[in-house]
Amino acid sequence: MRKIVLLLFTTFLTAGLLTACSGNSGSDDKSVTVGAKNYTAQYILSKITTLYLEDNGYDVEEVNGMGSTALRKALENDQVDFTWEYTGTALVTYLDQDPIVEPEKSFEEVKKIDEDNDLIWMNMSDINNTYALALKEEKAEELGLETISDLAEYVNNNPDEISMAMDPEFAERADGIKGAEELYDFELGSDNIKEMKTGLQYGAIDKGGVNSVMVFTTDAQIKEFDLRVLEDDKGFFPAYHAAVSMREDVYEDDPELEDLTADIAEKLSSETMINLTYQVDIEDKKVDDVAEKWLEEQGLLD
């Protein structure tokens, strides 16, 4: 009787070990954690990625709502497998480098430096969430302003007529208004710069409190308030292109993720993100619905 029990126990134990080994070594167990920051464009990118990966057999956990530094630490500490990060943010904020205007140079530089941090960069998209200067379309047309050089010339010829709303960070950063004034050779003057919390500048220009604003180039309010984004004709504002930042060990375990995220990246642009964030922030649609519809329109979901 003891021999029979021992034989059964050994059989069950062996079977259990074989099952466990086959489960870990195969490709059936495809799980990944996607991280995102705490604003609409990031929520949308996270949801698009999650839905597409799930449709390709992945079990996806979303970790959203983090600040930039917190997300970076989560990536470095193995709490997040990958995220859509911005090249300029990585260079300036995480790696303490000077900003780079040219998108490809910015991408290649952050890619090279982050190798030492065991992070892989891939699939840079055409989403460029950088700073820009804008006026109401009607006002820009009236003044004949198409570029920042046009704005600089107008300010120099008409002192005190242009007032601009911006957040405190943009007012102080080297790649903010001070640097733009230096390169384009104009000066608004402290009385014509209105500092306010990010987002409030749109209400200010809509109500006529100012006649120009700092914007991020993927903001839905560009469309909502019919703003003309002035061309950065001297290439001052650095590239902040969204790309995939992934832990090296995750990539080595599952290189298919590069191809799948490439499917998404090649269909993204700043204009796309403006339209998607507009649907969420202005039309009050759900992130899940907006992300799913976009994937279907792109032929990435049935």
Structure confidence by residue, pLDDT tens digits, 51-110: 999 999 999 999 999 999 999 999 999 999 999 999 999 998 899 998 899 999 999 999
pLDDT in tens, 7-57: 433 443 334 433 333 333 334 579 999 999 999 999 999 999 999 999 999
Q: How far apart are CA 188 and CA 293, in angstroms?
A: 43
Cα–Cα dist 282/115, whole Å: 39
Domain presence at residue 9: no
CATH number at residue 263: 3.40.190.10
Domain termination site, one of 171, 194, 229: 229
Residue 3 inside a domain? The answer is: no
Q: What gap in Å lies between CA 185 and CA 187, rounded to an integer?
A: 7
Question: Which position has the higher pLDDT, 134 or 92?
Answer: 134
Count of domains for the chain = 2
Alpha carbon of residue 169 to chain centroid: 18
Amino acid at residue number 19: T
The overall average pLDDT reported for the chain is 90
Provide the domain limits for residue 135: 131-229
CATH number for the domain spanning 197: value is: 3.40.190.120
